[in-house]
Amino acid sequence: MRGIALFGRVRLLDTTLRDGEQTPGVSLTLEEKVSIARQLDALGLDVIEAGSAVTSEGERRAMKAVAEEGLRAEVCSYVRARTGDVDLALNCDVDSIHLVVPVSDLHIRCKLRSDREGVMRAAVEVTEYAKGHGLIVELSGEDASRADEGYLTALYRAGIDAGADRLCYCDTVGVLVAEKAFEVFSRLSKLPVPVSVHCHDDFGLATANTVAALRGGASMAHVTVNGIGERGGNTSLEEVVMTLESLYGIKTEIQCQELYSLSRLVSRLTGIPVAPNKAIVGENAFTHEAGIHVHGLLADTSTYEPIHPEAVGRKRRIVLGKHAGRSSVELALRELGIESTEGELAEILSRVKELGDKGKRVTDADLQTIAEIVLSIQKEPKVKLNEFTIVSGNHAIPTASVRIIVNGSEILEAGTGVGPVDAAINAIRRAISGVRDVRLEEYHVDAVTGGTNALVEVWVTMAMGDRTITARGAGADIIMASVEAVLEGINRLMQLEEDG
């Protein structure tokens, strides 16, 4: 079989900054685009599609800033089949253009109100114009998976004659299937220039279709970090890379251990959370609870982990609950560096299951607290409260001031909020912001007893980096109970980080 890219060099074009940014509600600043581009380059991407020069003046400034970073990767601009778009791209100092022309009759007729001959003429004209101005040209067929293949091939050949350096087949609405992808690229790979694959995930098939296309002969895949993009998104960078590396044994030259940190950066800057069950980079990708699974991990981690979490910059996490078994707790304690006797282990397991039966998720940080109680291990807190005051009323903005000790240094800080509890928590977060970035993800209050002096129990979910813990505070004063819960969570997260 001719030209199967999986046995050669697979190249990757990342379009997080263009197709990914087209996700509804996402708009990246110049600084954010540059920050992502730097990490993409450090990761080892071959081409970075920095944006679409026609979008706006701000977009062009951001693209020019990316181009001026001196990246190893080729910097690319999306353009339509208009010479004016090429001129705008040239002003951004990019290396190449991604020239996208509709090729399905549906798109040609309904979107362009044109015909096949007109589209082909425009594609040839703009390709020649861009080549005449020193640009690398990747000629892309939009909605290729619903196009007449004879016409598509004719357009590609005309583009090659006009000087196109690469071709691209776009599954614009995600209707391709892997069997067809393999067949199509087995034919297209016979063309005299490299062919790329650009898939969307409307049916959840983007990664499968991309890998099938590479098996068929595609030499480059278009991807986005976390698979972000319009509608169902684009092909996921991390899924394609790890599928090639782990399942096909193909070295991509990507620095895989940086995949998770890049995922977190893009999630934070775009405001798009990663689904917990997302492959490779989701919170649960290397998280285990069921006792039978953890028993297998004790014998050999590959029993329930197809790749080592460290390979993508992750850590294994044991989350305990009602499904936990003795092996789960034993492994989790081992991960935390805690030794226990058989009796102590039984007591820790009993307390874990008690919390699990109440519907609570017991993370490694929660387990450490339980173990410390059972084993009477108490560590000096990193953050201690000296005092705090609250000002609130009908016409006053709730304001809190706190005086806390962080690693031995006293910090005085104030914060406001929608209520006194919110103000107190905001003041604490501001006080430690220069030391750690801690997030409050959930807040829940239960009244333990009745009456106006009811004992309340406050549960918070705190997060720092890749770690999430639950913490508890209790008392008749809901503000004080909330402060205690937040401080407990912060201390446990910081202690976990210190313990490695």
CATH of the domain at 28: 3.20.20.70
| pLDDT of 363 | 65
pLDDT surpassing 90 at residue 111: no
Q: What percent of the chain has pLDDT over 90?
A: 55
* Out of 145-154, 165-174, 383-392, least confident range: 383-392
Degrees to nearest 5, angle at CA 333 with 327 and 338: 140
pTM over 0.85: no
Contacts of 378 by beta carbon, 8 Å cutoff, 6+ apart = 372
pLDDT surpassing 80 at residue 253: yes
* Domain-embedded: residue 45: yes
Angle, helices 57-67 vs 30-43, to 10°: value is: 30
pLDDT surpassing 50 at residue 32: yes
Calpha distance 11→213 (Å, rounded):
13
Residues 370, 260 share a domain? no
Domain boundary among 355, 374, 393: 374
Higher-confidence residue of 19 and 447: namely 19
Residues 170, 88 share a domain? yes
pLDDT surpassing 50 at residue 251: yes
pLDDT digits (tens, 9 = 90+) for 292-318: 555 565 555 666 678 888 899 987 776
103: nearest Cα among 158, 52, 177: 158
**Once rounded to an integer, what is the mean pLDDT over residues 104-121?**
93
Residues 89, 26 share a domain? yes
| pLDDT of 476 | 65
Higher-confidence residue of 293 and 8: namely 8
Residues 23, 163 share a domain? yes
pLDDT surpassing 80 at residue 110: yes
Residues 404, 316 share a domain? no
| pLDDT of 289 | 60
pLDDT digits (tens, 9 = 90+) for 188-246: 999 999 999 999 999 999 999 999 999 999 999 999 999 999 999 999 999 999 999 99
How many helices (H) and strands (E) are present in the chain, helices listed first? 16, 16
* Domain-embedded: residue 402: yes
Range of the domain at 10: 5-270
Domain count, the chain: 3
Domain boundary among 346, 374, 402: 374
* Domain-embedded: residue 488: yes
Residues 219, 194 share a domain? yes
Residues 199, 76 share a domain? yes
Residues 328, 265 share a domain? no
pLDDT surpassing 50 at residue 266: yes
* Domain-embedded: residue 281: no
Angle, helices 116-132 vs 149-162, to 10°: value is: 30
Region label for 233, one of left (φ > 0), alpha (ψ between -120 and 50) or beta (otherwise): left
Residues 188, 329 share a domain? no
| Cα-based distances in Å from 90 to 77, 121, 138, 139, 175 | 9, 22, 15, 17, 34
Domain harbouring 397, CATH code: 3.30.160.270
* Domain-embedded: residue 44: yes
Domain boundary among 238, 270, 302: 270
Q: Across all residues in the chain, what is the average pLDDT? A: 88
| pLDDT of 293 | 52
pLDDT surpassing 90 at residue 170: yes
| pLDDT of 4 | 46
* Domain-embedded: residue 280: no
Taking the CA atoms of residue 219, residue 179, residue 1 and residue 160 in that order, the dihedral angle to the nearest 10 degrees is -40
* Domain-embedded: residue 277: no
**Once rounded to an integer, what is the mean pLDDT over residues 129-144?**
98
pLDDT digits (tens, 9 = 90+) for 443-489: 888 765 455 555 577 888 888 877 888 887 766 688 888 888 888 88
In angstroms, how far is CA 23 from the centroid of its own chain? 14
* CB burial readout 134-160, b (16+ within 10 A) else e: ebbbbbbbbbbbbbeeebbbebbebbb
**Once rounded to an integer, what is the mean pLDDT over residues 63-85?**
97
Higher-confidence residue of 47 and 413: namely 47
| pLDDT of 3 | 42
Residues 291, 252 share a domain? no
Contacts of 243 by beta carbon, 8 Å cutoff, 6+ apart = 207, 211
Residues 38, 184 share a domain? yes
Residues 332, 417 share a domain? no
| pLDDT of 1 | 35
* Domain-embedded: residue 257: yes
pLDDT digits (tens, 9 = 90+) for 85-95: 999 999 999 99
| Cα-based distances in Å from 13 to 73, 311, 324 | 9, 22, 43
